[in-house]
């Protein structure tokens, strides 16, 4: 699996474009902004989005989704936890002056749940429900490649904030326990900042080692 990281928008969200070497389809994860750059990469690599995987609904992670879908001849399906659908495309979801409520995407919205297995573009992911930062936050785990995409659940050295509407520190603590049992060699690709590993976070991240401090 090739993982292309493109940092987007004023909140510096990591948008990941995932594809098999030599393949013609890609998965786009959390297209928050800077859609022209994302589209240029896809065109340069002659890739077509097969699906959009959203870790959660905050505007900085999904703000570019509408433009990405509009640019495609046939919009690809969008995967998001059902708990996010109630607010992600409403006026409640804005971060002014940088992000305003995302428009309802003109595409197939597919709700994911904990344990779902997604086989897309030659790649396989297991959905891990990890609420706490938002009610419907999820991680996407590619077990074969030992890659975990954590959105704003887990970062290098810290975790997602829980003081925004829908956040809950006690719930996030339970989500971190779920991630802590993954293989130590698992590469962690967060929604902001640098990549890390489960081993590194277990040894140095106070929130990850002792989630009860949340």
Q: What is the pLDDT of residues 27-62, one digit of tens each?
A: 999 999 999 999 999 999 999 999 999 999 999 999
- Does residue 117 sit in helix, strand or coil? strand
CA atoms within 13 A on the CB side of 82: 5
Peptide bond into 195 cis (omega under 30): no
Q: Among candidates 46, 59, 140, which has minimal Cα distance to 97?
A: 59
* Cβ burial, residue 165 (10 Å; 0-12/13-18/19+): exposed
For residue 63, the domain's CATH number is 3.60.15.10
- Does residue 198 sit in helix, strand or coil? helix
Q: Report the C-alpha gap between 150 and 119 in whole angstroms.
A: 18
pLDDT of residue 211: 67
Band of pLDDT at residue 213, cut at 50, 70 and 90: low
pLDDT (mean) for 78-97: 88
What DSSP state is assigned to residue 160?
-
Tokens at 78, concatenated: 């969008």
State percent of the chain over pLDDT 90. Answer: 80
Contacts of 86 (CB under 8 A, 6+ apart): none
- Does residue 115 sit in helix, strand or coil? coil
pLDDT per residue over 150-205, tens digit each? 999 999 999 999 998 889 999 999 999 999 999 999 999 999 999 999 999 999 99
Q: Report the C-alpha gap between 11 and 213 in whole angstroms.
A: 26
Q: Report the C-alpha gap between 133 and 48 in whole angstroms.
A: 31
Q: Tokens 């940092």 — which residue?
A: 7
Number of domains in the chain: 1
Asked whether the predicted pLDDT for residue 94 surpasses 90, the reply is: no
Contacts of 7 (CB under 8 A, 6+ apart): 13, 14, 15
pLDDT of residue 18: 98
pLDDT per residue over 58-71, tens digit each? 999 999 999 999 98
Cβ-contact 62, 30 below 8 angstroms: yes
The boundaries of the domain holding residue 203 are 2-213
pTM of the model as a whole: 0.95
């Amino acid at each position: 699996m090739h993982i292309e990281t493109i940092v987007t928008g004023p909140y510096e969200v990591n948008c990941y474009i995932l594809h098999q070497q030599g393949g013609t389809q890609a998965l786009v994860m959390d297209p928050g902004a800077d859609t022209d750059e994302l589209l240029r990469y896809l065109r340069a690599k002659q890739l077509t989005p097969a699906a959009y995987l959203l870790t959660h609904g905050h505007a900085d992670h999904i703000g570019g989704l509408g433009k990405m879908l509009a640019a495609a001849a046939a919009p690809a399906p969008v995967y998001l936890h059902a708990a996010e659908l109630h607010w992600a495309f409403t006026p409640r979801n804005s971060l002014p002056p940088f992000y305003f409520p995302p428009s309802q995407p003109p595409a197939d919205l597919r709700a994911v749940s904990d344990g779902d297995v997604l086989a897309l573009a030659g790649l396989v992911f297991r959905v891990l429900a990890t609420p706490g930062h938002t009610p419907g936050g999820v991680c996407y785990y590619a077990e074969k490649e030992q890659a975990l995409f954590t959105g704003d659940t887990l970062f290098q050295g810290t975790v997602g904030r829980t003081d925004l509407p829908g956040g809950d520190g006690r719930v996030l603590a339970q989500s971190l326990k779920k991630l802590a049992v993954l293989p130590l060699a698992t590469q962690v690709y967060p929604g902001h900042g640098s990549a890390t590993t489960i081993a590194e976070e277990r040894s140095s991240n106070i929130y990850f080692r002792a989630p009860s401090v949340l």
